[in-house]
Structure 1
Amino acid sequence: MPHPVRDAPQDAPAPVPFAQFIVKTHGRCNLACRYCYLYEGPDRTWRSRPAAAAPEVLDRAASRIAEHAAAHSLRELSLVLHGGEPLLAGAGRLAAFAGLVRDRTGPDRTVHATVQTNATLLTESRIATLARHSIRVGVSLDGGLPAHNTLRTDHAGRPSWPAAARGARLLATHHPEAYAGILTVVDPRTDPVEMYESLLTLRPPAVDLLLPHGNWTSPPPGLPAANSGEPGRPTPYGDWLSTVFDRWWRAGHRETRIRLFEECLALLLGLPAATESLGLDPVNAIVVETDGAIEQVDSLKSAYDTAAATGLDIFHHTFDDALRHPGVAARQAGAGALAAGCRACPLLTVCGGGHYAHRYRAGHGFTNASVYCADLDRLIRHVAARLGEAATAAAPARELP
């Protein structure tokens, strides 16, 4: 019987070239967040990999990225320097690798480089190095107050908040042009408005609100596995997000960008949008691990051990080989990879079935509704209602007959 993550639709569309390359420059983290799906979840592949990517791995990764960009005439691509905590590799090494990718891809291609960090290792000097080499910095936090970050501790159990807050403020103050934004995982136990407004004090140009990685076998907090999206089930995540949306919407969404909300609005208006959480656009991201292994995105590791594995590596395979992998094809199949109920849903083009990793059920693979089905329904209909109200208010008054 085929492994569930590798069950690609028989009529899968032509593959979409990768345009986002996530390179693990360091595979360990200086924090020990108690909820981390990567180090505390079911996947154990990180244990056998080197802590840091060796120079030969980074050299071959740069060549493979350039090869793929040339083969598919990519004009722009995204390079995400990731971990673990990528700054454990050193800001200078990150800058050198980004420069190598730019040199190999050539002057006619734009490489948008970003590092995703917990901010505890950010200093004025490191931020200046990254900014000088046009590497933007994304910060991962649970919120903008110490109380929001109690689960983000180092390996000795000490709180990470003082160092993380200091790093985020240094970034906002000294190099705002390099500030990509803040990534926060939704916690419905927190006050949504307090959480949002606390993040604003760190002056992020953008905020990513992510649903915690869970699935039908290992449901996220507050969602029992027995629920299957039927009417009347609780929607704590949809309620939380809807409250934040209203606060953001009332401010004229001038305070910061919130990608989830912007993408939802765009999809409701019939515009193209790209996010793993919404819509039917094919996923075009691929990961290079510290040992050179080519893998699918880390979120799959929340499902089961080796879920992201492809069996490929950059020394023996190209990224085109990865495009032909059944697991990648399934991620790019759009509605063809969805459960029948999802394909018949009126919210299909907006919801897109939700995040792929959130559809998993042991023994049934990923051809299921998202474990967040009801929450996504709640949020999308709420945003649509606000959009409808705005359109009605903006319409010219008509004379009654």
Structure 2
Amino acid sequence: MRVRPPTRQFVVKLHSRCDLACDYCYVYEMADARWRSAPAVMSERTADDLVGRLAEHAAAHRIEHLDVVLHGGEPLLAGPARIGALVRAARARVPASIGFTVQTNGMRLDEPFLRLFDELNVRVGVSLDGTKAGHDRHRKRHNGAGTHHIVAAAVRKLAGPDFRHLFAGLLCVVDLAEDPLACYRELLDFDPPVLDFLLPHGSWSAPPPGRHPGDPATPVLATPYADWLIPVFDEWYAASPPTTVVRQFAEMVTLWLGGSSGVEGLGDQTSPPLVVATDGSIELSDIIAAVEPDAVDTGLNVATDPFDAVVLPQEKLAAECQACPVLAGCGGGHPAHRYRAGHGFENPSVYCPDLFRLTSHVRARLAHDLAALK
């Protein structure tokens, strides 16, 4: 174990339930069932304890800026009063500037909420899976109805002239059934400042769609996700002027140029975010809980413990990763994607062939252009 350096980003689970039933959700559709016993909404007392711990942490380390992501579940289910009270209390009591972002599914993102976020200076990120067909294939109501029309309307309002300054970006989960460039261009129509393309969460024990390790019908070195992402990278990379920031691509470029990662699961993060659940529990990445819930449990709570009490497990990369020529560009992939039941996390990523091909492609494009400059 190692002592955690000061944390500068916190994910706050304001509400532990959701008004959608996305089939790939790592919170509700995988191994982590803790939400069933968690309070639905963070209480005022717990929110007060949280703000006190943020103030304590900022003062102890003389931190000038913190980032807080309001998350869930679906954070807007907490309601405007609860959200407003937390943001105002933190801004009043924490001796550091705080950048607040709310990550929402967009279903409740109406004008009153946008006006509240404008008043509070809270930025807004929205989950939107590309085309209508792709989005509605996965992001459905509990009754099975599609949601694209509602979310798209909310994003257009957010991207419009009144609230554009609040727009933090769009988050899209890769769907191999979608045409990658059609998906990318559909998202660009909303003029997002940032795009995130996420790989569906999976592991060696529960492989993601299209990756079936050990299946003799599937080539071992098949790279369906790299095949999907590389055309998007090439179009993004060639655009002049840039159309948006695709975070994963931008971070890969930064890593190959000798920089450090700001994206979980890509390169080494010296101080990854801490998660505070609705009951005040302080946790490590809740994405890891999708495969092994106990792995994120610190045994700490904002009611009784400072953030400095958190320690990180010493991450161990598989021998194959340590010897890999593209390790600098992928970092071994997300820890959750390395998990194998009975063997823990010391394995290559279930996405290893995809990561190898994608990061190699990025490196080759950079090497070509840098050589041309000489």
**Shorter-chain TM-score tier:** over 0.9
> Distance between the aligned counterparts of 1:391 and 1:282, measured in 2?
28
**Count of equivalent residues:** 371
The reply on whether 1:315 has 2:303 as its aligned counterpart is yes
1:76 to 65, 82, 103: 65
What CA deviation, in whole Å up to 9, does each residue of 1:270-304 have, x standing for no partner?
12332112112224211111111111122012213
Amino acid at match of 2:372: A
Q: Secondary structure at the match of 2:287?
A: helix
Aligned 8 A contact 2:4 2:308 in 1: no
Aligned partners of 1:235 and 1:375 also within 8 Å: yes
Other-structure match for 2:79: 90
1:33 aligns to what? 22
Residue in 1 aligned with 2:33? Answer: 44
Match of 1:352 in 2: 331
1:19 matched to 2:3? The reply is no
**What one-letter code is carried by the residue in structure 2 that aligns with 1:270?**
G
TM-score w.r.t. length of structure 2: 0.95
Give the residue type in structure 2 aligned to 1:35: Y
CA distance, structure 1, for counterparts of residue 267 and residue 59 of structure 2: 28
The C-alpha deviation readout for 1:198-232, integer Å capped at 9, x for no partner, is 001122110011111111111111111338xxx95
Distance in 1 (alpha carbons) for counterparts of 2:228 and 2:153: 28
Give the superposition deviation at 1:147: 4.1
Query: What is the SS of the residue equivalent to 1:388?
Result: helix
Out of 368, 374, 380, the position equivalent to 2:359 is 380
Output the aligned Cα RMSD. 1.8
Once residues 210 and 258 of structure 2 are traced to their aligned partners in structure 1, the CA distance between those partners, rounded to angstroms, is: 32
Report the secondary structure of 2:357's partner residue. Answer: helix
- Using the TM superposition, give the Cα deviation of residue 93 of structure 1 relative to its aligned residue in structure 2, in angstroms: 2.4
Percent identity (aligned) = 45
- CA–CA distance in structure 2, aligned partners of residues 223 and 241 of structure 1: 15
Deviation at 1:265, TM superposition (A): 0.4
Equivalent-residue separation in structure 2 for 1:253 and 1:34 (angstroms): 36
Residue pairs, 1:8-157, within 5 angstroms: 8=1, 12=2, 14-106=3-95, 109-157=96-144
Aligned-partner residue type, residue 218 of structure 1: A
Q: Is the 8 A contact 2:24 2:201 kept in 1?
A: no
Find the partner of 2:286 among 298, 307, 316. Answer: 298
Q: 1:329 is aligned with what amino acid?
A: P
Note closer, same or farther for the CA distance 1:41–1:254 as it changes in structure 2 (3 Å cut). same
Note the residue ranges of structure 1 that are not aligned, 5 or more in a row: 1-7, 396-401
TM-score of the pair, normalised by structure 1: 0.88
Taking the aligned partners of 2:125 and 2:144, their CA distance within structure 1 comes to 24
Higher mean alpha-carbon deviation, 237-246 vs 94-103, is at 94-103
Aligned residue among 239, 246, 265 for 2:253: 265
Cα deviation, residue 175, structure 1 = 0.5
C-alpha distance in structure 2 between counterparts of 1:128 and 1:310, whole Å: 37
CA distance in structure 2 between the partners assigned to 1:272 and 1:49 by the alignment: 35
Please tell me whether the aligned partners of residues 213 and 220 of structure 2 are also in contact (alpha carbons under 8 angstroms).
no
The letter for the 2-side match of 1:363 is: G
What is the CA–CA distance in structure 2 between the aligned matches of 1:151 and 1:271, rounded to whole Å?
35
Q: Is the 8 A contact 1:25 1:53 kept in 2?
A: yes
C-alpha distance after superposition, 1:78-100 (max 9, x if no partner): 10101111001123421321221
Runs of 4+ in 1 over 4 A off after TM superposition: none
CA distance in 2, matches of 1:190, 1:22: 30
Structure 2 vs 1, CA of residues 122 and 186 (structure 1 numbering), >3 Å: closer, same or farther?
same
Question: Given that residues 19 and 285 in structure 1 are in contact (C-alpha distance below 8 angstroms), is that contact kept between their aligned partners in structure 2?
Answer: yes
**Corresponding position: 1:191 with 2:179:** yes
Instruction: Give, in whole Å, the separation in 2 of the partners of 1:235 and 1:289.
Output: 36
SS of residue in 1 equivalent to 2:107: coil
Structure 2 distance, partners of 1:244, 1:253, is 16
8 A contact 2:134–2:178 mirrored in 1: no
Amino acid at match of 1:383: V
Give the whole-Å Cα distance in 2 for the aligned partners of 1:273 and 1:137: 22
- Which SS does the other structure have where 2:251 is aligned? helix
Kindly indicate whether the alpha-carbon contact (under 8 Å) linking 1:99 and 1:133 is maintained by their aligned counterparts in 2: yes
